[in-house]
Amino acid sequence: MRVLITGASGYIGKHVVKAFLDAGHEVTVSDYSFKGVDERATLSYEPIFSGRKDIFEAFGKPDVLVHLAWRDGFIHNSDAHMKDLSNHVEFLQNMIEGGVKYVTVMGSMHEVGYWEGAIDENTPCNPMSMYGIAKNALRQSLLLFCKNKDVNLHWLRAYYIYGDESRGSSIFAKLYQAEQDGKTEFPFTTGKNKYDFIHVDDLAKQIEAASVQSEENGIINVCSGNPISLADKVEEYIREHNMKIKLVYGAFPDRPYDSPGVWGDPARINKILGKN
């Protein structure tokens, strides 16, 4: 398929571009810069927020749009989330009106807000950050807009992503940097909270598989479906990377608004991947 990927040079984007290329697709990439993006991809300098009604034609009429572009994704209460929301809506609506048949947009567990247990496509959403509010509003707008449209809409909801730590902003990235800086201790919480962890390369493969099919539309969790305590996962990461650094448990208090356990229901992505 001919695939357009926005936000291609972002933390997730680079891995997603490679996954699509490795699967044999023809990939065009869009972003502010293309540093580190797979050289097999075709670069496009067309701005996604131009407001052009013919944006679909301007991007060469792709079969698939994978919309990853999002400013300040790691800064959850940045003003950019709400400021950019209408631009995302306009771009996606113009692409759909133009004729793109497969649309994937990255969602987030932060749309849901506080929740204990598994999250599926029917879990109620009460976001607790500007990032979550904006993503939730974009999803609601898109689902409504696409109701009577000839388009396969995939809203892919991601969870706790790790891997490629030199470029990430997760606790694993901070741990990686502390080890690089020669620190021997790393301040930590109790680590008892359980999360759904997925390596960025596995996530990219799930995004590729979900984006090019028409059997499962709407909200799809891209996740492992396996709740693991933060302590167990971080200790495993330290062992796997032969790090010398030690966790200082209880240095930071557990936040009262963090769920004791939250993870994605993987039923729909497993069906797509042929695991059911």
Q: List active site positions.
A: 131
In which element (H, E) is residue 43 found?
strand 42-44
DSSP 147: T
* Helix, strand, coil content of the chain in percent (nearest 5): 35, 20, 45
- In angstroms, the CA 251 to CA 254 distance is 10
DSSP 110: G
- Angle among Cα 197, 211, 101 to the nearest 5 degrees reads 155
Rg, the chain, Cα only: 19
Amino acid at 62: P
- In angstroms, the CA 207 to CA 83 distance is 26
